[in-house]
Structure 1
Amino acid sequence: MTTALTLLDAILPHVAFDGWSNEAFAAAAEDCGATLEEARALCPRGASDLAVLFHTEGDAAMVTALKAADLSEMRFRDKVAHAVRLRLDAVTDKEAVRRGSALFALPHMAPIGSKLIWGTADAIWTALGDTSEDVNYYTKRATLSAVYGAVVLFWLGDDTDDGQATTDFIDRRIENVMQFESFKAALNKNPLTKPFAGALERFTSHIKAPSAPADDLPGSWSTRR
């Protein structure tokens, strides 16, 4: 029986040559013994749906590996860096990621690509036990999304045998995130910036994390204090 996952396995050898394209999708359907109509019933957007599935399957593999890892002796920044490395390790086909980066850079696909990167950041924070319910929910994921996007681009160009250059790059970017968090904390301690920080905190106190996965919007504006 043909499923979206069997189509994904079938399309990967074609992606290296044809990208996440209609041609690759048609070839995958043929390899699975399915008609194009049957394949479209599973993936209405064709190869684009399989590119999304390829990414989310990588997220799921990363979460499984992260939950199995012993993080007890790690600083929190090291846990985040380790999670990012595990996400790269979950990639089964680097060329598919390269082709996917080109796909999600297209104007009509960019919102989907941004959502996928946000989903990766969310998966990492959630797996690490983040319980933020205020604006920090968004700032953590936004900064990690930027980090992960930069890491993927660097990793795609890293041709070292052991990937040490990418590991070092991850550590530098995570350090930048921690510096930003320290900067936010320092605003509340500096007499010159404390009034501004207090006003900003009161404003952002209305911003709440998503209340349910089924919500159409990523968050909500609350009038409760």
Structure 2
Amino acid sequence: MTDPKQQLLDAALSHVPFDGWSEATFKAAIEDTGVDATVARAVCPRGAVDLAVAYHHQGDAQMLAALKEEDLTEMRFRDRIARAVQLRLQVVTDKEAVRRGTTLFALPQYAPDGAKLIWGTSDQIWEALGDTSDDINWYTKRATLSGVYSSTVLFWLGDTSEDHSATWEFLDRRVDNVMQIEKIKAQVKKSPTLNMLMTGPNWLMSQIKAPTRFPKADFPGSWTSPKD
């Protein structure tokens, strides 16, 4: 049986470039698909906003599928991260749909949705690359990658270079910036003097744990125990 939300999403994409992720687009998708209006509202209570969220999730799933086909064994870890972000953008077939989504999730009432989507993409990249951190690093890794990803998307939206070569150069610079931060953190850990000064803050940060992965219900974290 065809998923009605997927039907609506597929139909909506031809209207988004003209009407954005709007009520007009949602109604047009209902008319184009013949999905019962009551069913449409049941699967998308917020109309096109929920379709925009579904579109982003669809892109994440396509990225993960593409990432599984990649041979990353010979890549440096920073290159694996850059490649994952690149794949996330390359699976997009309609840049205008992303542009309209960026505009939508910049609105105050939908900004939390946008932040959650970006965090979710970053989390899925780290999970796919085998991240096993369970302390404050779980948060810092996703926070920094969220910044890299969101800034790269904005650059990509305005990039007119051939094959988006300028975007990939921008992405490499952003990842290099993050790697520099990691090097500084490593140097601090090796310094006895700085470690002594950071005893209190380090103890406090050691008490911060990643959300349980059984299940991961929300972002930035779910604190549901495996027994619940």
Fold match by TM threshold 0.5: yes
Match of 1:107 in 2: 108
Structure 2: tracts of 5 or more residues without a match? 224-228
Moved more, 47-56 or 189-198: 189-198
Deviation readout 1:96-142 (Å, 9 max, x if unpaired): 00000000000010001000000000000000000001010000000
Distance 1:214 1:130 in 2: 15
Does residue 1 of structure 2 align to residue 27 of structure 1? Answer: no
Match of 1:204 in 2: 205
After superposition, residues 1-225 of structure 1 pair within 5 angstroms as: 1=2, 3-211=4-212, 212-213=214-215, 218=221
Contact 2:4/2:35 (8 A) holds in 1:
no
Contact 2:85/2:149 (8 A) holds in 1:
yes
Distance 1:59 1:197 in 2: 38
Deviation at 1:216, TM superposition (A): 5.6
One-letter amino acid of the counterpart of residue 92, structure 2: V
Distance 1:138 1:214 in 2: 14
* TM-score, reference length from structure 1: 0.93
Deviation readout 1:71-92 (Å, 9 max, x if unpaired): 0110000000000000001112
* TM-score, reference length from structure 2: 0.92
Distance 1:215 1:151 in 2: 27
Distance 1:186 1:135 in 2: 18
Q: How many residues align?
A: 220
Deviation at 1:195, TM superposition (A): 2.0
Q: CA RMSD in A?
A: 1.5
Contact 2:11/2:33 (8 A) holds in 1:
yes
Q: Percent identity?
A: 58
Deviation readout 1:130-159 (Å, 9 max, x if unpaired): 000101000000000011000000000001
Report runs of 4+ in structure 1 exceeding 4 Å deviation: 214-217
One-letter amino acid of the counterpart of residue 124, structure 1: I
Contact 1:4/1:42 (8 A) holds in 2:
yes
Question: Against the structure 1 CA distance between its residues 10 and 142, is the aligned structure 2 distance closer, same or farther, given a 3 Å change threshold?
Answer: same
Distance 1:140 1:113 in 2: 18
Structure 1: tracts of 5 or more residues without a match? 221-225
Which SS does the other structure have where 2:46 is aligned? coil
Distance 1:91 1:73 in 2: 26
Deviation at 1:182, TM superposition (A): 1.1
Question: Against the structure 1 CA distance between its residues 125 and 219, is the aligned structure 2 distance closer, same or farther, given a 3 Å change threshold?
Answer: same
One-letter amino acid of the counterpart of residue 4, structure 1: K
Distance 1:2 1:204 in 2: 44
Deviation at 1:186, TM superposition (A): 1.4
